[in-house]
């Protein structure tokens, strides 16, 4: 099988590229005109990392797209934390761009966002420390060659950032294996009679879900190694519409969806519905609403619009219409078939029905039962 | 070192860096007189500022000397929109330790250099304010000049620009004992003056009252400056940076200023120092100085070195006191983070924004609640000022201290409890004073549930005098010069602002407790208006109890309550008209709330002692209680048309207790309800309404108990589990002995043994008669006997 069979260019056939590849041009442009001193092991200066995250233009005039839309101070604290070689803990409800921010931080600072440990209830200690290639271990005994490095160990030797997703889902004893790594910046390997020292530039970004706090609460010893940044839900409609439109456009490109005319109205509608149900109050502040059991994050709003886009492009008339988003919307809101359905019906009948210009959406949503 | 021109120290009001710079400039140049932006009437008070008992934050207070007696605040009706302007005009000039003006005054006092205040006299200012109906502006900032400069420098927050560009650069050389030459000491002020000249050139004075005010103030400053320059060689002026260009050479001709100031109105004013708090300096509050972080500024001004580390150590201490474990390592990391953050942001030194971020991320683990604690305790702070004993007093404060002496009720900070017997004149006076202070927001006393006796003439209080009350009292002085006047004005203001009818009636009650006859007419007008406009019977019902209590206790307190009685009777009429609609179509929870209201109104009617109102209420209850359930609304217990079972039962019980309903009829209704045709839940709710609260009925009326017993045994098994919790709730409300007695009775039901039928034995009227007479006498019925 030749390359011609799989596609014209292997890079473009990758479903989702790492941030450092996707935005390689921007990172290169930033590095080219980056004068301020860089912390040891960093690819960019802190100021350039913030520009990369929040958008702007380089001194040479290259435009940088914003990766995070929200308060500047949050990104400043995050970058300053990593510059003081303290570990960074990003907290927030699902869908507040925690993973997104950590990936881009790793891409901008280390040029490598792939050193990732996904936290689950079954994450073993080997995922954070090291494991063994047992065939080799049995054949040759403990040796460096038989060692299977974890992403964290690899990050230590390379002096780059390691990412731990969903830290609070990891069992407490496994979590605590991070303590030595973070405080001593070293990992003893008693089997080889030595240790692995972290190079400058090594650090850890962890994300955790606010709602999960009770799952595996961090021990205070571990907690102490982290600076905490809480990522909030977007503060107003315009900000959230901005986030959704940008992400939908970016996703549409990477999923090769046929081009659609911009559909600001429908995006605004999705965001409004999500915000109202999430906050339990209409945007005009007049009536109270019940909130469904799901989190209704911005990320879900993005997937509702992307889904609607796919529907419109492949089955519709090429324009994003109310009916295209209604389906995904009901699916996003109604997570618990009993109670959420009532919440949704109430919302439809009391708020959507009365709202001017929302007739089409009301009809479309009502037909989905 | 002779100064040809006066040195103009343009400052940012309440800027700690400015304060340091002013102190440095004054000690370097040693002027012979210091002119300070402030009211000239305060000149005689300057000596007090150097007193050893004086402690910032304090405020200069100016108030009209004889206003309180001339104006009766109670006359201001609640319909007037801005009651405060009808009160005594006052103005405050708050000064904290870190205020440049305060530092200038303290320096002058320590070096025995005279101080003169050079702003527009407060006499003129208050007179103009009362004519033009404007609030006095404590510190005049026409346009925010700093904001314009900061914007030009690319800062979004003017405070940060000032900190970066001036304060952090100025404070470097400010080590104690360092001699700074005059040029260095004055350099920043020259730069500020230059900048202000540019800002003022691009912002010409606005026509209208604002521009006029600025012209008058600056004319007044120039006049004082000319006078000082004639007398002294070395003159220093400490004023807002904005005014510096107006005071620079060449000054305009003196006669132009004289004509600006000619013919301005004046009133007689008195000035004094009053203690102040940091919380009151914060911008969110009434007479704030626009300083959002007085605690932080105070820290910056007083911390000898390492301001950031010291601040974070204090923040950690605050968190530790509240039970959060914060280690020294946390503080180290927070300090590192705030310094790195300052570098990332390109600032010379970490400021409040950086230390707050660091505290949030490191000390508080991102928890906003803990951060709010740091904000309250440290950033704003609870520092309280103090003035010397010899300071002339504020009228309302004098009034309170006089009352405290007269009533032998010293302001003791240790909490203690007292019982007042309102039949004694002195206790009645004490009670009035405490109630009036409560109305003014000074919670010196807290009313306690009555501890002694059951009479309405006992009142219990817990007293505890907080030092901040002195400040609160001064602020309350804006309402009037004596406690009764101020309280009455406050009541009028509250009545206008009251959101609901119940708020107004509560106010009426408090007003009568405080014996504020002056406030009452306005309150009653507000009450009538709200009663007429309120459509919700529930609100009306909530309003009645307070009125009824007031009427009842008015006698004890010798207040005239004729108009109030009228209002209460009107309220009863409206409640009776609206009640049938209000009882229907309620769900379980609403019915419970309504039952409480019905009970409260019922009790209030008893207190009112008004035969007509009582009859009307009884008739309304009677007609509602007699509504029988028709088979058609069998499905839903709360169907429209019939009251909820809970309420129906309760109404019948009230009527039975009131003697309107005889026992046989009550039993008939109960039997009717507890039949198979009525859903068990409705019946259970009815039973709960009828029986709840007092178990004696079941103990003594065996036939009722029998009915209940029969009904319970006839409930089908399917609905029994649903009804059981409702029944349990009813019976768990009884006292243990009552439950035991009911249980015993129920055990013997139908067996006939042991217990006699109540009423079986005839009452012996001859033997019972004398006892009834005695009871009637005890109850105070004159016609008995």
Task: Determine, for residues A220 and B325 on separate chains, whether the beta-carbon distance falls below 8 Å.
Answer: yes
Mean pLDDT of B520-546: 79
Cα–Cα distance for residue pair A39/A34, rounded to 1 Å = 13
User: Six-digit token pair at B326?
Assistant: 């914060």
Average pLDDT over residues B341-366: 87
pLDDT at site B156: 62
End-to-end CA distance of chain B: 103
Interface test with A, best of B355, B362, B369, B371 (most A CBs within 10 A): B362
Buried b (16+ CB within 10 A) or exposed e, B754-773: eeeeeeeeeeeeeeeeeeee
* Inter-chain CB proximity B345 and A76 less than 8 Å: yes
What residues contact B781, with CB distance under 8 A and at least 6 apart? none
* Interface contact B336-A84, CB threshold 8 A: yes
Question: At what angle are helices B611-625 and B588-608 packed, to 10 degrees?
Answer: 150
* B238-286 tens-digit pLDDT: 988 888 888 887 788 888 888 888 888 888 888 888 888 887 777 544 4
Token readout for A272 is: 């409004």
**B353 vs B155: CA distance, rounded Å:** 14
How many residues belong to chain B? 785
Task: Please tell me what DSSP assigns to residue A95.
Answer: T
Give chain B positions within 8 Å (CB) of A228: 360-362, 364-366
Residues of chain A positioned with their CB less than 8 A from the CB of B155: none
> Do A73 and B330 count as a contact with CB atoms less than 8 A apart?
no
In this complex, do A77 and B357 lie within 8 Å of one another by their Cβ atoms?
yes
> Between chain A and chain B, how many beta carbons pairs sit less than 8 Å apart?
58
Checking if the pLDDT of B466 tops 80, the result is no
Is A76 in contact with B337 (Cβ distance < 8 A)? no
- Residues 6 or more apart whose Cβ sits within 8 Å of residue B510: B435, B438, B439, B491
CATH number of A3-230: 3.40.50.300
Residue A131 is predicted with a pLDDT of: 92
Question: How many CA atoms lie less than 13 Å away from B266 in the CB half-sphere?
Answer: 10
Q: Is the peptide bond before B250 cis (omega within 30 degrees of 0)?
A: yes
The DSSP bridge pattern shows strands A226-230 and B115-117 to be unpaired
- Does A234 or B760 have the greater pLDDT score? A234
Chain A residues with beta carbon closer than 8 angstroms to that of B366? 89, 91, 228-230
User: B357 touching A, CB under 8 A?
Assistant: yes
**Inter-chain residue contact A80 with B341, CB threshold 8 Å:** yes
User: E strand or H helix at A131, and its extent?
Assistant: strand A130-132
User: Per-residue confidence at B60, pLDDT binned at 50, 70, 90?
Assistant: confident
Structure tokens belonging to residue A225 = 């190694």
Out of B327, B333, B343, name the one closest to residue A86 (CB). Answer: B333
Helix axis angle for B588-608 and B537-554, nearest 10°, is 30
Beta carbons within 8 Å of A331's beta carbon, 6+ residues apart:
none
Interface of A with B (CB under 8 A): 46-47, 50, 73, 76-77, 79-81, 83-84, 86, 89, 91, 220, 223-224, 227-230
What would the pLDDT profile of B356-409 be if each residue is shown by its tens digit?
A: 999 999 998 888 889 998 988 888 887 888 888 788 777 888 888 888 888 888
Residues whose CB falls within 8 Å of the CB of residue B562, separated by 6 or more in sequence, listed in order:
none
**Binding-face residues of B in 555-614 toward A, CB within 8 A:** none
By C-alpha distance, the chain A residue nearest B339 is A80
Judged by CB atoms closer than 8 Å, whether chains meet at B365 and A228 is answered as yes
Ramachandran angles phi, psi of A280, nearest 5°: 70, 25
Rounded average pLDDT per 10-residue block, chain A, 369 residues:
47 80 91 88 91 89 88 91 91 86 94 91 90 92 91 93 92 91 91 90 90 74 90 84 82 72 79 86 77 83 86 79 84 83 84 84 80
Question: Closest Cα partner for B317 from B301, B292, B302, B334?
Answer: B334
| Selection from A81, A55, A98 nearest residue A230 by Cα | A98
Residue B662 confidence (pLDDT): 79
CA angle A157/B362/B336 to nearest 5° reads: 70
A222-226, B141-145, B461-465: segment of lowest average pLDDT: B141-145
Angle between helices A298-314 and A322-333 (to 10 degrees): 140
- Residues of chain A positioned with their CB less than 8 A from the CB of B333: 84, 86, 227
pLDDT tens column, B728-745: 877 887 888 888 888 888
Average pLDDT of chain B to the nearest whole number: 78
B701 versus A151: which is more confidently predicted?
Answer: A151
- Angle, alpha carbons B555-B559-B564 (nearest 5°): 90
What DSSP designation does A156 have?
H
Complex-level ipTM: 0.78
Residues of chain A positioned with their CB less than 8 A from the CB of B344: 46-47, 50, 76, 79-80, 83
Q: Where are the domains of chain B?
A: 7-70+90-281, 303-380, 395-476, 636-785
Which of A49, A105, A227 should one mutate to test binding to chain B, selecting the residue with the greatest count of B CBs within 10 A? A227
How many Å lie between the alpha carbon of B60 and the closest alpha carbon of chain A?
A: 39
**What span, in angstroms and rounded, lies between the C-alpha atoms of B538 and B571?**
12
For residues A83 and B340, is the Cβ–Cβ distance under 8 A? yes
CA distances from B625 to A204, A349, B182, B597, B660 (A): 73, 38, 92, 16, 11
Q: What is the pLDDT of residues B292-321, one digit of tens each?
A: 788 888 888 888 788 889 999 999 999 999
Option in A80, A89, A220 nearest B344 (CB): A80
Q: Which of B323, B346, B361 to mutate to test the interface with A (most CBs of A within 10 A)?
A: B361
In angstroms, the separation between the Cα of residue A5 and the nearest Cα of chain B is 49
Q: Which residues of B touch A182 (CB under 8 A)?
A: none
CA dihedral sign of residues A59, A65, A69, A75: negative
DSSP B604-643: HHHHHT-HHHHHHHHHHHHHHHTPPPPGGGGS-TT-TTSB
pTM of the model: 0.69
CB-nearest to B337 from A47, A80, A224 is A80
Which candidate from A80, A220, A229 shows the least CB-CB separation from B366? A229
Answer yes or no: are the C-beta atoms of B83 and B23 closer than 8 Å. no
CB A291 within 8 A of CB A346: no
Instruction: Sort out which chain B residues have CB atoms less than 8 A from A229's CB and list them.
Output: 361, 366
Better-scored residue on pLDDT, B670 or B576:
B576
Kindly list the domain boundaries of chain A, sorted by start residue.
Answer: 3-230, 237-367
Q: Is B11 helix (H, G, I), strand (E, B) or coil?
A: strand
Return the closest-CA partner of residue B21 out of B234, B176, B244, B173: B173
Partners of B357 on chain A (C-beta within 8 Å) are: 73, 76-77
| B chain contacts of residue A89, beta-carbon cutoff 8 Å | 366
């Amino acid at each position: 099988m030749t390359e011609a069979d799989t596609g014209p260019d292997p890079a473009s056939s990758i479903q989702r590229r790492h941030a450092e590849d996707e935005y390689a041009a921007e990172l290169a442009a930033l590095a080219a005109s980056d004068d301020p001193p860089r912390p040891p092991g960093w690819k960019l200066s802190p100021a350039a990392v913030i520009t990369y995250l929040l958008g702007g233009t380089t001194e040479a005039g290259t435009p940088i797209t914003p990766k995070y839309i929200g308060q500047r101070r949050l990104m400043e604290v995050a970058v300053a934390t990593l510059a003081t070689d303290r570990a960074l803990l990003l907290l927030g409800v699902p869908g507040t761009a925690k993973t997104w921010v950590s990936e881009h931080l790793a891409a901008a600072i280390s040029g490598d966002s792939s050193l990732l440990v996904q936290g689950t209830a079954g994450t073993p200690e080997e995922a954070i420390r090291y494991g063994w290639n047992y065939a080799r271990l049995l054949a040759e005994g403990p040796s460096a060659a038989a060692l299977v490095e974890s992403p964290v160990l690899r990050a230590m030797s390379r002096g780059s950032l390691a990412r731990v997703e969903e830290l609070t889902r990891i069992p407490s004893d496994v979590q605590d294996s991070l303590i030595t790594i973070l405080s001593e910046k070293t990992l003893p390997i008693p089997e080889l009679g030595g240790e692995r020292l972290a190079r400058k530039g090594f650090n850890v970004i962890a994300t955790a879900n606010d709602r999960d706090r009770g799952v595996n609460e961090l021990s205070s010893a571990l907690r102490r190694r982290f600076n905490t940044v809480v990522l909030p839900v977007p503060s107003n409609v315009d900000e959230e519409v901005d986030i959704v439109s940008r992400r939908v456009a970016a996703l549409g490109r990477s999923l090769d969806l046929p081009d659609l005319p911009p559909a600001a109205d429908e995006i605004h509608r999705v965001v409004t519905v999500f915000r109202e149900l999430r906050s339990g109050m209409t945007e005009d502040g007049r009536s109270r609403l019940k909130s469904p059991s799901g989190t209704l994050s911005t990320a879900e709003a993005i997937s509702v619009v992307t889904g609607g886009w796919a529907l419109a492009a492949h089955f519709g008339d090429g324009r994003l219409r109310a009916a295209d988003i209604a389906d995904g919307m009901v699916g996003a809101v109604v997570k618990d078939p009993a109670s959420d359905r009532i919440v949704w019906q109430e919302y439809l009948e009391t708020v959507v029905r009365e709202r001017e210009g929302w007739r089409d959406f009301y009809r479309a949503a009502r037909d989905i039962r | 070192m002779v100064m040809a021109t006066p040195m103009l120290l343009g400052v940012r009001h309440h800027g700690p860096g400015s304060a340091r710079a002013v102190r440095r400039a004054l000690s370097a140049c040693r002027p012979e007189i210091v002119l300070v932006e402030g009211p000239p009437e305060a000149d005689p008070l300057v000596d007090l500022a150097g007193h050893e008992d004086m402690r910032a934050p304090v405020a200069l207070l100016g108030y009209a000397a004889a206003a309180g007696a001339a104006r009766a605040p109670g006359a201001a009706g609640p319909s007037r929109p801005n009651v405060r302007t009808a009160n005594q005009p006052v103005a405050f000039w708050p000064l904290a330790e870190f205020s440049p003006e305060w530092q200038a005054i303290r320096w002058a006092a320590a070096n025995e250099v005279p101080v003169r205040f050079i702003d527009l006299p407060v006499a003129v200012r208050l007179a103009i304010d009362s004519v033009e109906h404007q609030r006095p502006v404590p510190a005049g900032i026409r346009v925010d000049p700093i904001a314009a400069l900061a914007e030009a420098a690319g800062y979004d927050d003017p405070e940060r620009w000032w900190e970066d560009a001036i304060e952090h650069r100025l404070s470097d050389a400010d080590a104690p004992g360092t001699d700074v030459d005059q040029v260095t000491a004055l350099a920043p002020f020259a730069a500020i003056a230059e900048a202000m000249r540019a800002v003022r050139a691009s912002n010409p004075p606005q026509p209208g009252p604002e521009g006029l005010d600025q012209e008058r103030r600056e004319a007044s400053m120039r006049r004082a400056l000319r006078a000082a320059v004639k007398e002294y060689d070395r003159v220093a002026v400490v004023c807002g940076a904005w005014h510096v260009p107006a005071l620079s050479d060449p000054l305009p001709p003196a006669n132009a200023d004289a004509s600006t100031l000619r013919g301005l109105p004046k009133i007689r004013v008195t000035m004094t120092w009053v203690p102040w708090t940091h919380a009151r300096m914060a911008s969110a509050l009434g007479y704030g100085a626009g300083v959002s972080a007085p605690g932080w500024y105070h820290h910056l001004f007083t911390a000898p070195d390492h301001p950031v580390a010291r601040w974070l150590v204090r923040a950690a201490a605050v968190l530790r006191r509240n039970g959060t474990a914060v280690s020294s390592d946390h503080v180290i990391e927070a300090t590192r983070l705030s310094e790195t953050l300052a570098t990332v942001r390109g600032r010379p030194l970490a400021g409040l924004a950086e230390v707050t971020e660091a505290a949030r991320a490191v000390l508080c683990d991102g928890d906003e609640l803990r951060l709010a604690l740091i904000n309250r305790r440290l950033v704003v702070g609870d520092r309280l000022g103090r003035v010397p004993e010899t300071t002339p007093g504020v009228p309302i404060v004098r009034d309170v201290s006089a009352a405290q002496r007269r009533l032998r009720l010293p302001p003791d900070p240790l909490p203690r409890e007292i019982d007042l017997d309102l039949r004694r004149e002195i206790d009645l006076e004490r009670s009035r004073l405490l109630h009036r202070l409560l109305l003014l927001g000074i919670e010196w006393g807290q009313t306690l549930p009555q501890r002694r006796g059951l009479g309405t003439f006992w009142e219990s209080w817990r007293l505890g005098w907080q030092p901040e009350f002195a400040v609160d009292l001064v602020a309350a002085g804006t309402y009037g010069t004596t406690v009764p006047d101020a309280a009455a004005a406050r009541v009028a203001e509250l009545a206008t602002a009251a959101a609901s009818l119940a708020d107004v009636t509560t106010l009426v009650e408090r007003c009568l407790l405080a014996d504020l006859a002056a406030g009452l007419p306005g309150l009653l007008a507000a009450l009538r208006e709200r009663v007429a406009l309120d459509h919700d019977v529930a609100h009306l019902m909530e309003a009645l109890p307070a009125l009824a209590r007031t009427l009842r206790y008015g006698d004890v307190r010798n207040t005239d309550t004729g108009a109030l009685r009228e209002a209460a009777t009107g309220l009863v009429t409206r409640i009776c008209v609206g009640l049938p609609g209000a009882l229907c179509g309620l769900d379980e929870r609403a019915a419970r709330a309504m039952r409480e209201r019905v009970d409260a109104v019922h009790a209030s009617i008893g207190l009112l002692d008004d035969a007509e109102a009582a009859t009307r209420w009884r008739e309304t209850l009677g007609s509602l209680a007699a509504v029988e359930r028709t088979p058609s609304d069998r499905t839903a217990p709360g169907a429209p048309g019939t009251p909820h079972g809970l309420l129906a039962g309760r109404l019948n019980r009230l009527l039975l207790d009131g003697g309107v309903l005889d026992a046989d009829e009550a039993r008939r209704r109960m039997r009717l309800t507890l039949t198979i045709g009525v859903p068990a839940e409705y019946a259970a709710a009815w039973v709960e309404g009828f029986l709840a609260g007092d178990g004696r009925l079941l103990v003594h009326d065996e036939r009722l108990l029998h009915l209940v017993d029969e009904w319970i045994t006839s409930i089908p098994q399917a609905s029994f589990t649903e009804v059981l919790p409702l029944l349990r709730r009813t019976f768990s409300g009884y006292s243990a002995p009552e439950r035991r007695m009911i249980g015993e009775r129920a055990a013997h039901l139908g067996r006939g043994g042991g217990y006699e039928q109540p009423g079986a034995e005839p009452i012996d009227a001859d033997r019972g008669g004398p006892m009834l007479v005695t009871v009637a006498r005890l109850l105070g019925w004159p016609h008995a006997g």
